[in-house]
Homo-oligomer: A and B are copies of this chain.
Amino acid sequence: MLHSTYKCNAGCPVEGTMEVIGGKWKGVILYHLLEKTYRFGELKKIMPGITQHTLTKQLRELEAYDIVNRKVYAEVPPKVEYSLTERGKSLEKIILMMRDWGAANLSLAK
């Protein structure tokens, strides 16, 4: 979700943040990682709709922005854990507010 061809104006920081957390699944990923560290397979399990390919990509992008930390254990079978970096944790309020707003304003329940 990179919009490199941006005519910058006063609203830019807002859009910049959108680019970081604006992927289709990034909000959910961050929301889960807020709670605890997760292994790759666990994330896949709690987000049944996402494919392996896409999950990997979104995690890599979050990693590139220094939002999530990727810890690889040199074991067999492999084990990879994802957690929030300090910068990632600084998004907590935003994520939680988005959750609350969504819960209050959208009829996602059923």
A: residues with CB less than 8 A from B are 3, 5-18, 20-22, 24-25, 27-32, 46-49, 87, 90-91, 93-95, 97-103, 105-106, 108, 110
Contact = CB atoms under 8 A, between A and B. Distances in A.
A104 B49 CA distance: 33
A6 B97 CA distance: 21
Given A9-B28, A101-B94, A22 B20 contact: no
A101 B108 contact: no
Given A27-B18, A46-B9, A49-B6, A101 B106 contact: no
A28 B8 contact: no
Each complex incorporates copies of this chain amounting to 2
B99 A17 contact: yes
Given A18-B98, A20-B106, A32 B49 contact: no
A18 B9 contact: no
22 contacts: A5-B49, A7-B48, A9-B48, A10-B46, A11-B32, A11-B47, A12-B28, A13-B100, A13-B108, A14-B27, A14-B95, A15-B25, A15-B27, A15-B102, A16-B102, A17-B27, A17-B105, A18-B21, A22-B22, A87-B105, A91-B101, A94-B94
